[in-house]
Amino acid sequence: MQSDIRYDLTITGNGSSSGGVFKNVKIIGDAKIDSDLDCLAFRCSGTTEITGNMKSTSCHIIGEVYLKGHLETGEAKITGIMDIDGNVKTKEMKSNGEIRIRGGLAGEDVNLEGMFAIKGNCEAEILHMKGVFTIDGLLNAGSVELKTHSKCRIKEIGGEKIDVRRGTGSVLKRLLGTFYLPSDFFEGVLHVDTIEGDDIYVEHTSAKVIRGANVVIGPGCRIGHVEYANRFEKTDGSNIGKLTQV
Amino acid sequence: MEQELISKKELLELTGISYGQLYRWKRKKLIPEDWFIRKSTFTGQETFFRKQQILDRINKIKELKDDYSLDELADLFLSSNESSAVPSPNPKIALQKEELIKRNIVSEMTLNLYLQQMGDRTVFPYQQILCVYLLETLLKTGELSLDEGKMMLQTFEEHYKKFEGKKCDLIVTRKMGVSSIMLVSSSSEIHFDNGVKIVVRLDVARCIEELNLKLK
């Protein structure tokens, strides 16, 4: 680096930048960044396309961001669309929009609502997810709380505390839903291959194998095989193929 | 070399850790991703590990986790994770004679033995620190006599360089009261005749890890 001074970058309207090191980056409108971007605060209320990697301490997206490389950020707040080809590394992440990550996601405190698709693994200390999601890799978190809407799919879940419930949605939506939407619209279900954890609660889930110390199976489940060590509970109306205590 | 595999379930039973712990360690990169071997079994996919490798690692984590944070452990293991690479000896570190004792790396007795044998010096580069540290370890456990210690010092100083970038073990044997010291590469198997007793086989790479922790 030639100089230590970071300057601001503001793009309003239509513009492009060749990337580099900046202090605050503010994009209102349409922007294209043709290389890596390193900044402190990143704000986008519009559409941004970045062809390189992005590094920032905070990242607010109210719009769309398309990123070809990896994202490394301290804090991320997304109310829009984020489309990333690489991996995402973050401390804190909050999202109310749509997220597509073709790499993996690693974070500490991750709070996602809305729609998201993650191709790789997803790691966090605390993870809350609500909405429609697909994770093709392993979901590994200290505490996992999932609220499913519609059809969700995760390959594997591993962690200490795992809690899967059907999402309820707002009252208004539910009322409207009874009239306008197909009857099974809010029926959140989760398909998963294996769940392994210490304390597990699942409902409306179909899984091949669930292994854990304390396993509670709520309503609407179809589980191929449950292995538990200490405690097992099951609500009526759930199917379990095989049950073993180890 | 085909190693014995152990399934995840057996591993947890054997070591007494829980799924949560295993996943947390994996998340913290204490157990590298490529140690998880997926295989399909009649119950679907199962995860397996190389038995010796994973047991060593887990025992080590259990042993050290009270004294060090998981992140510190991750840093420590990172160097040894690169498959079969030697934990990076830190050639930049050199310590003063007094500091070795002050930082509790070696006892005064061991140090004196070393100085007596190898000549007096005040500054110890990394390789010499490692050498005294090995001596200390062996003497402390009582596996080596002072004379053997001297022999070991000479062997080590002379031949360790040849293992540059490779893992090696230090073996001490005795037969009819005559002892010998040898350095062999870690993966090699050796067999002796019946009269030979292997006093100790010391994994040098592991000692480097321990030493690096102490030097921090």
**Block means of pLDDT (10 residues each) for chain A, length 246 residues?**
76 91 93 92 93 93 93 92 93 91 92 90 92 91 90 91 83 61 70 92 92 91 91 88 87
pLDDT (mean) for B179-184: 86
B123 and B211 belong to one structural domain: yes
Contact list in B for residue A194 (CB cut-off 8 A) is 44-45
H or E element at residue A177: helix A171-180
Put simply, the answer to whether B26 touches A140 (Cβ < 8 Å) is: yes
Q: Beta-strand (E) ranges in chain A?
A: 7-17, 20-33, 37-50, 54-61, 64-67, 71-78, 81-84, 88-95, 98-101, 105-106, 109-118, 122-148, 151-166, 189-202, 205-217, 222-234, 239-245
Residue B206 scores a pLDDT above 60: yes
B136 and B70 belong to one structural domain: no
By the CB < 8 Å criterion, does B18 face chain A? yes
Q: How many domains does chain A have?
A: 2
Q: B154 lies in a domain?
A: yes
Coil, helix or strand for A158?
A: strand
By the CB < 8 Å criterion, does B119 face chain A? no
Helices (H), chain B: 8-15, 19-27, 51-64, 70-81, 97-102, 108-118, 126-140, 146-159, 204-215
pLDDT value at residue A39: 92
By the CB < 8 Å criterion, does B29 face chain A? no
Q: A132 lies in a domain?
A: no
Here the tokens at position B96 are 């003063």
Q: How many CB pairs under 8 A join A and B?
A: 50
Q: Are B60 and B76 in contact (CB under 8 A)?
A: no
Q: A65 lies in a domain?
A: yes
B32 and B116 belong to one structural domain: no
Contact list in A for residue B21 (CB cut-off 8 A) is 160
H or E element at residue A178: helix A171-180
First vs last Cα of chain A: how many Å apart? 58
pLDDT value at residue B147: 82
Put simply, the answer to whether A160 touches B24 (Cβ < 8 Å) is: yes
Q: A144 lies in a domain?
A: no
pLDDT value at residue A51: 93
Return the residue of B nearest to A142 by Cα.
B24
B129 and B158 belong to one structural domain: yes
Q: Best of A89, A161, A192, A194 to disrupt the B interface by mutation (most B CBs within 10 Å)?
A: A194
A68: domain range? 1-120
- Domain end point (choices B58, B81, B104): B81
Q: B138 lies in a domain?
A: yes
- Domain end point (choices A99, A120, A141): A120
Put simply, the answer to whether A225 touches B43 (Cβ < 8 Å) is: yes
* Partners of residue A33 on adjacent β-strands: A17, A50
Put simply, the answer to whether B20 touches A198 (Cβ < 8 Å) is: yes
- Domain end point (choices B81, B106, B124): B81
pLDDT value at residue B47: 85
Q: How many domains does chain B have?
A: 2
Which of A132-146, A196-210, B59-73, B81-95 bottoms out in mean pLDDT, i.e. has the lowest?
Answer: B81-95
By the CB < 8 Å criterion, does B16 face chain A? no
Share of chain B above pLDDT 70, in %: 89
**Distant-in-sequence, close-in-space partners of B56: CB < 8 Å, separation ≥ 6:** none
Q: What is the pLDDT of residues B30-55, one digit of tens each?
A: 888 878 888 877 766 788 888 888 88
Q: B25 lies in a domain?
A: yes
- Domain end point (choices B81, B103, B119): B81
Q: B87 lies in a domain?
A: no
Put simply, the answer to whether A140 touches B44 (Cβ < 8 Å) is: no
B29: domain range? 5-81
Q: B49 lies in a domain?
A: yes
B73 and B101 belong to one structural domain: no
CA B124, CA B109: separation in Å to the nearest integer? 16
Q: What is the pLDDT of residues B131-142, one digit of tens each?
A: 888 888 888 888
| pTM of structure | 0.66
B75 and B130 belong to one structural domain: no
Put simply, the answer to whether A160 touches B13 (Cβ < 8 Å) is: no
pLDDT value at residue A109: 93
| Mean pLDDT rounded to a whole number for chain B | 80
Put simply, the answer to whether A213 touches B23 (Cβ < 8 Å) is: no
CA distance A170 to chain B (A): 33
